[in-house]
Amino acid sequence: KQEVTQIPAALSVPEGENLVLNCSFTDSAIYNLQWFRQDPGKGLTSLLLIQSSQREQTSGRLNASLDKSSGRSTLYIAASQPGDSATYLCAVRGGLGSARQLTFGSGTQLTVLP
């Protein structure tokens, strides 16, 4: 059974700092990995999707890496801003079965202080 762990559970940083969020998963047979952002009480916004054959993806100030063999992914946020404050969720999509559902971590709650 796939398990996804995100460390740390919460993080508080001053504005302008670069930061890294970590995600680990137990089964390396994944189809892809997605990073999401969730604002309080809201749905999920997809930030980056990395296919299993890829090593990293970039979008603006965000960069996500994937090391499938070691079961790890990182989300790097450059020059953090107060508007980046949210919960960041990592999810892996299973490699077996047609549904290939997403298995989520519990998230990292990020607070960027002005």
Partner 1 sequence: ETGVTQSPTHLIKTRGQQVTLRCSSQSGHNTVSWYQQALGQGPQFIFQYYREEENGRGNFPPRFSGLQFPNYSSELNVNALELDDSALYLCASSLLSPTYNEQFFGPGTRLTVL
Asked if 106 interacts with partner 1 (CB under 8 A), we say yes
**Given the rule CB under 8 A, which of 11-19, 44-52, 59-67, 75-83 is the region that contacts partner 1?**
44-52
Shorter beta-carbon distance to partner 1: residue 14 or 43: 43
Q: How far apart are CA 107 and CA 114, in angstroms?
A: 22
Report the residue count for the chain. 114
Q: Does 98 sit near partner 1 (CB under 8 A)?
A: yes
The one-character DSSP state at 60 is T
Residue whose tokens read 């892809």: 32
Q: How many other β-carbons are positioned within 10 Å of the β-carbon of residue 108?
A: 21
Which residues bind to partner 1, rule: CB under 8 A?
Answer: 4, 31-32, 34, 36, 41-46, 49, 89, 91, 93, 97-107
